[in-house]
Amino acid sequence: MSASKKKSKKRSARSSAPPRKDIPYYLDRNMGKHVIADALRGAGFTVELHDDHLAPDALELTRLD
């Protein structure tokens, strides 16, 4: 027999806070260049794309300054 776990009914503080629009969101190249970025921009977010700041073959260790 498996024990049933009780699911908390209390919402976590993290899930109840709306996403911040006052900071830029950086999308890695695996997120694509248009679909997600355009949707976020359309919702009022500032979006920066990986390839706008780094070479397409840049290592993940490269810092954005």
- Indicate the pTM of the whole model: 0.61
**What ranges do the domains of the chain cover?**
19-50
Q: What is the pLDDT of residues 27-43, one digit of tens each?
A: 988 888 899 999 999 99
Burial level of 63, CB count in 10 A (0-12/13-18/19+)? exposed
Phi-psi region of 28 (alpha: psi -120 to 50; beta: other; left: phi over 0): beta
* Higher pLDDT among residues 25 and 13, named by residue: 25
pLDDT at 25: 92
Q: What is the DSSP letter of 28?
A: -
